[in-house]
Amino acid sequence: MMIYTGTYPAVTPIEHKMKLLLVMKGYNKDDIEFISNPRGFEATGIKMLRIGHWDYIKDEDILYIEEHCPVKIDDVCWYDEDCGWQSVYYFRTKTKEVWCKLKK
């Protein structure tokens, strides 16, 4: 069953910048995936970021991305008995007005 309508490469300028920042922080470029329209978030503007097989992104790296990109990232973590801890990151673009205020 396919649960995503668009997978996996970076397609927008913001996604490309997020990928570049993650690579600069040491993440493997081939492990970085962007998923548009994740199930339950259709038409909301929320997208999903995944590293490898649901790997964790350090909190300071999330803050680094949010500092340099107009996005807000929320993490969701869960424990799977077969794979251990897994993480996914939902993000949305901040409005231009909010981004300008944050940059001041």
Per-residue pLDDT of the chain (104 residues; tens, 9 = 90+): 344 444 577 788 999 999 999 999 999 998 999 987 666 666 677 888 999 888 999 999 999 999 999 999 999 998 989 989 999 999 988 865 444 444 54
Instruction: Determine the 3-state secondary structure of 7 from DSSP.
Output: strand
Res 2: pLDDT: 41
Res 43: pLDDT: 64
Res 53: pLDDT: 85
Domain that holds residue 53: 4-103
Q: Which two tokens stand for residue 72?
A: 């807000």
Q: Is 96 exposed, middle or buried (CB count within 10 Å of its CB: 0-12, 13-18, 19+)?
A: exposed
Res 11: pLDDT: 80
Domain tally, the chain: 1
Identify how many contiguous H helices and E strands the chain contains and give both numbers: 3, 5
Cα-Cα-Cα-Cα dihedral sign, residues 88, 22, 28, 33: positive
Nearest to residue 55, comparing CAs of 91, 13, 22?
22
